[in-house]
Structure 1
Amino acid sequence: MNMSTVSAPSQSKRLESCTRAARHIGLLLFEQCCIYNAGVISEAFRLANELQAGSSAGPAYHLSLISRSGGNISTSSSISIWTHHLHEYSVGDFDALFVACSKSEAMADHDPHLLAWLFGSERAISDGNDHTQRSASEGTKGRAPTVPIYWFKDIPMAAWSGCEAPVHLALAKIEADFGPNVARRVVSELQPQPLEHSNAPAGDMSVTTTTDKIHASAGWIKENFSKSISISDAAEVAAMSNRNYLRRFKAEFGVTPQQYLMNVRFELICRLLIESDLPVDKIARRCGMGNGDRLGRLFRRRYGMSPTAYRADGGAGVQEQMES
């Protein structure tokens, strides 16, 4: 996904004078933001620029990533994104502003500088999520144009159920500017392309999207946690290349497939240590950890105590250590 930004405030002013037709889109991000949401919004506008390239002298959209502190901010995937300081602009500098939190979350944050910046603009603003309000404001003549603010919950794709997905908001803006045909073409380009040589089990019609495939592979890992599992094995279940699978899996769950596997194993190990009298060596073999010695080394590295001590303390020592 292409996450293009303006290169510097002074250069952005020169760019603006050369490409006045470009609609300036702002994307306000916060620390530990979800990189997928930022990326899919950026990619939607990049594709709109590509599709409109022959119909205007410059790009249709100009995207700026901003944050309240500026500079590099960290994401939930441990990747840094460079941003402009929000005070380099005012809300009125944008044709639309996307904010990586809900309106209620922004109000609850109680940051006076952020709230003043968001709601103290001289130019009127409107709620981009309110389609009725947006349509009414667009049809009003004789008033200063409003800046629609598109609020979205910055959560992983798997948790989008019941929320308006960020990409839908970007598509709503593109449709409002260029019509449904361009928006549909952007949707078509955003869809993952089918694999020419799929290794997915024959007849499994439930795995239809990348997210479905990733979750199906996670389910397969849970079912086969006691076996020796490689990245290639899990990637084959998802019908993806190893590299793409690793990237997609971490974006979806926040951990690598190997870390996910170890989390599943240790969850059962801890439960068996408390709820059963099985010897440590037998628990290790049952949970795919080889033998008791290997389990002991990994358990101490993970929890700071031996499996025997964990069992004697009823798991309390680990809980206290994790909470401290």
Structure 2
Amino acid sequence: MEPRIVIVGFDSAQILDVTGPLEVFSTASRFLRIPGYETEIVSTDGGQVRSTSGLEFASAPIDAVVGPVDTLVVAGGRDMEIAAADAKLVDGIRRIAGESRRVTSVCSGAFLLAAAGLLDGRRATTHWAECELLARRYPEVSVEPDAIYVHDGNVWTSAGVTAGIDLALALVADDHGRSAAATVARRLVVYLRRSGGQQQFSALLAAQSIDDEPIRDLLEWLPDHLTDDLSIPVMAAHAHLSERQFSRRFKTEVGTTPAEHVEALRLAHACRLLETTLSPVELVARESGFGTPETMNRVFRRRLSTTPSDHRHHFGPA
């Protein structure tokens, strides 16, 4: 039988939260030798639904969903407080979830899952800007603010907007293996590289929003010098600041310590090498600036809850 995918939208839903997963499942159905995914979009009362971008899409009433469902996908959007207060929508999500093999959300759709009680006692994530609110409003949910997606039992939650594509690719991989998901990713010309534990807000993007010129220049210089001595004295001298000035201004501008930022850059570089090359782990550790595999292994375990070898196994070249 064709796996049935039900995507829940609503007025002011984020259009990519709906169409991102929809396109992944549609592409998988067209280009993989599998039973095609049967997709449908529903909303509270059905009809035309207007997204945050102004684009409207058709939907069926949520009450029309009867029988078993393979995967429930709940989109996020702008007016989540209004959506979470929609008793008919929340009740419909709760009912469908009870008949679904998997329950998922994209971006702030996690608020609707939480309102339905489906995240109680579970780990979950949402858009980085909404994680604090989700944790405060639903204290029974263990919010992981820095994950692309979180898989806890049969419930999957993902971060903002394009992370819904990462989530849907992970679901295809869960169903049919990594090579099948890679085929879909190639067709969509997107990466099949972001694991659930990778950070939502990449350290490589930090320099784009920095006003402090010495700090911005340093951030642009760092990625090409990961194997150098990147101690506080060296970085402070590069920025032409005293060590105390440097540490204070770096934390103010970047939101993290210099050492934490350098570690994040080295981790991201190591992940790329593990994902795109067959270089030995020892070489990856050296070229990423970790020096030894043991040091790199400790960072992977602390930051990603995995090991370099496991990361390559799941996301490396076939």
- Same fold, TM exceeding 0.5? no
Q: TM-score, normalised by structure 1?
A: 0.40
Larger radius of gyration: 1
